[in-house]
Amino acid sequence: MAHSDPHASSGTSPPVPSRDPDALLFRGVGVGPSTAAVHAGEARQKPGFSITDPIFASSTYTFPDTRSIVEFIEEKQCREEYGRYGNPGERVVEEKLAALDGGEMAVLFATGMAALVGTLMAHLSAGEEVVFFDECYHRSREFCRRHLTRFGVGFREVKTGDYAAMEAAITPRTKFLVSESPTNPHLSIVDCAAFADLGRRHGVLTLIDATLCTPYNLRPLESGVDFVLHSATKYLGGHNDLLAGAVAGSRERLEPVRNLRGIMGGINSPHNAYLLERGLKTFALRMERHNSNGLTVARFLESHPRVERVFYPGLESHPYHAIAARTMCGYGGLVTFLLKDSDWQRTARVVDAVRIPRIGPSLGGVESLIEQPMVMSYWNYSPAERRSFGIPENMIRLALGIEDSADLVADLGQALDSTV
Ligand SMILES: *Cc1c(COP(=O)(O)O)cnc(C)c1O
């Protein structure tokens, strides 16, 4: 097996210079996602002969003498200097995520939004423009619409999946094309190869927010996308107990992002990085269960007489099923559905009647969550605005955890049947 050779660094991406040449980092090149999630980025022998990585609770890092400082600066040695520039636990997680996504490098941030803001700010200048698919996370679009515009960066939105409209929106000022895949809560799927091709043909950078698919289900870098972004708060952390974000891609494109992070300071604490590393150990196992729970519950809902429509890319009825089936290894744990003949109050009765999923925003943790997007995220919008976002009153979003699918199905069944 590849991982019995700790020197193994050949493969598609060039080897990353080891932070400590004596501690051979296992990069996870050429192995499966579970092996990479468990081992990538970790030294074979660790301080204290510990099998787990220590949490270095340190804000600064010391040098034995002045000469070592000069060597560190001149030889660009890989070691820590000051906590805002990085910490050892964060580096381990960055190596894991780079291995999982097939990138040369990943940069970890305090949140998914910090990763998005950091990536865009590192590459955009006044006079340039960003084009979004319109089903992207509303906070990402809000950052561009309300804030980047204050710095002279233009912002356009086109309908999700309309590649011709996106191409038509590209001008000589366009610097970035941004999308999510799958989108939330409609689970639309972007054809990453077509998206990347659009960027390449026009010399424009492409970014996919792959929070919902995770590198277990889809690796957009392999299709030629320049940046893949994750809210690690969701499936990567997986336990609803931390916030983090990451962006992966080529060294050349990510070095400016890392440098800006060192200035902005949106870094993970050593403790948070350790929680994320621990969560990642079971990432692949959890994704298998999220995927199977998603498909089982989506099929159950589609067959239920009270359900008008189910949005899940694994269902043949989903408008993006063909592209999802062709490109993805699984369809994830997010399932959105519409109730027949229900206003928001009637819909809320179903949400309030479930016993296993808790009511709350977010997704990707071991605990299932349920919410009504109109109430949770769009309460302060007018009916016309909600219509334009595709958020009707009778929509319910389920973020399935890793509970047993039979229990989830039984629970949803009793909630639907007891509130008729
Ligand atoms: C949650 C989420 C974000 C934001 O991530 P945070 O970690 O909450 O900052 C961005 N994109 C998607 C798709 C998300 O689900």
Domains of the chain and CATH, by start: 21-280 (3.40.640.10), 283-418 (3.90.1150.10)
Contacts of 236 (CB under 8 A, 6+ apart): 97, 214, 230, 244, 246, 276, 279, 280, 283, 364
pLDDT confidence of residue 29 = 64
DSSP 369-398: EEE-HHHHTTTTS-HHHHHHHT--TTEEEE
Asked whether the predicted pLDDT for residue 3 surpasses 80, the reply is: no
Q: Measure the CA–CA gap between 216 and 292, rounded to whole angstroms.
A: 13
Asked whether the predicted pLDDT for residue 16 surpasses 70, the reply is: no
146-154: average pLDDT: 97
Asked whether the predicted pLDDT for residue 89 surpasses 90, the reply is: yes
Asked whether the predicted pLDDT for residue 6 surpasses 70, the reply is: no
Residue with tokens 């990943």, as numbered in its chain: 106
Encoding tokens for residue 202?
């026009």
Give the CA angle between residues 196, 230, 263 to the nearest 5°. Answer: 100
DSSP 98-129: HHHHT-SEEEEESSHHHHHHHHHHHH--TT-E
Phi-psi category of 313—alpha, beta or left, where left has phi over 0 and alpha has psi -120 to 50? alpha
Question: How much is the mean pLDDT over the chain?
Answer: 93
pTM over 0.85: yes
Residue 77 confidence class, pLDDT cut points 50, 70, 90: confident
**184 CB within 6 A, ligand 1:** yes
Q: In 3D, which of 72, 207, 191, 64 has the Cα closest to residue 131?
A: 207
The pick from 116, 119, 135, 137 for probing ligand 1's pocket by mutation, whose C-beta has the most ligand atoms within 8 angstroms, reads 137
pLDDT confidence of residue 369 = 98
Query: Among 74-88, 121-135, 191-205, 326-340, which is the least confidently predicted range?
Result: 74-88
Is the Cβ–Cβ distance between 343 and 232 less than 8 Å? no
For the chain, give the number of residues.
420
Nearest Cα residue to atom 1 of ligand 1: 231
Is the Cβ–Cβ distance between 233 and 110 less than 8 Å? no
Residue 113 confidence class, pLDDT cut points 50, 70, 90: very high
Which active-site residues does the annotation give? 84, 137, 209, 234
Residue 13 confidence class, pLDDT cut points 50, 70, 90: very low
Q: In 3D, which of 209, 274, 331 has the Cα closest to residue 55?
A: 274
Nearest Cα residue to atom 15 of ligand 1: 211
19-33: average pLDDT: 60
Contacts of 219 (CB under 8 A, 6+ apart): 101, 102, 228
Query: Among 30-34, 87-91, 342-346, which is the least confidently predicted range?
Result: 30-34
**111 CB within 6 A, ligand 1:** yes
pLDDT confidence of residue 76 = 83
Ligand 1 mean position, distance from CA 414 (Å)? 31
329-348: average pLDDT: 98
Ligand 1 mean position, distance from CA 298 (Å)? 23
Ligand 1 mean position, distance from CA 66 (Å)? 43
pLDDT confidence of residue 170 = 98
Asked whether the predicted pLDDT for residue 59 surpasses 70, the reply is: yes
